Amino acid sequence: MNRRSMLWAAVSSIGAGFAASRANATAPDEKPPAKLKVAYHLNDLDRVNFVLGNIQNHYDGVGGPDHVTLALVVHGPALRAFHLASANPDITGRLGHFSKAGLEMAACGNTMKAQNVTLAELQPGFVIADRGGVVRLAELQSQGYFYLRP
């Protein structure tokens, strides 16, 4: 065996040993990963179904609402999709399911004023982001939420 082969064998053995020790390392006091918090930003009317699909995929991908905290902040033209007067049964059903799962749904107070709509005229489960949707998104980010704008 030449020196290069011996050196390669030694380095490979050390690397394999290190990898095996890390794979088997279990610390009894190690905490499970923190529950992720994610804020979805929605302002485009034509992206409503896409974003609601992303929220469903998010819940499905992590094993349900016990493993993630999601928030949806809606402003601008997208808020029209959540008016009761023009309620789409599919959207209503999805929102009811998400609301039961703990999804926080915030409607921009500024958009509500501009569209002349009250909280009672929106789908159940919404709260008002009194200081505005973008302010609410910034607040959520300051609380450790990841920001997604699909």
Yes or no: say if 104 and 81 are a contact pair by the CB < 8 Å rule.
Answer: no
Task: Please give the pLDDT value at position 39.
Answer: 98
12 burial class (0-12, 13-18, 19+ CB within 10 angstroms)? exposed
How many Cβ atoms sit within 10 Å of the Cβ of residue 115? 15
Per-residue pLDDT of 13-41, as tens digits, reads: 555 554 545 544 445 566 656 789 999 99
Q: Residue 100 domain-assigned?
A: yes
Q: Residue 40 domain-assigned?
A: yes
Yes or no: say if 69 and 37 are a contact pair by the CB < 8 Å rule.
Answer: yes
Q: Residue 93 domain-assigned?
A: yes
Q: Residue 46 domain-assigned?
A: yes
Give the domain range for residue 62. 36-148
Cα radius of gyration (the chain): 23
Q: Residue 1 domain-assigned?
A: no
Per-residue pLDDT of 63-113, as tens digits, reads: 999 999 999 999 999 999 999 998 899 999 999 999 999 999 999 999 999
Q: E strands, the chain, where?
A: 36-42, 68-74, 104-108, 126-129, 146-148
Number of domains in the chain: 1
Q: pTM to 2 decimals?
A: 0.78
Q: Residue 15 domain-assigned?
A: no
CATH number at residue 62: 3.40.1260.10
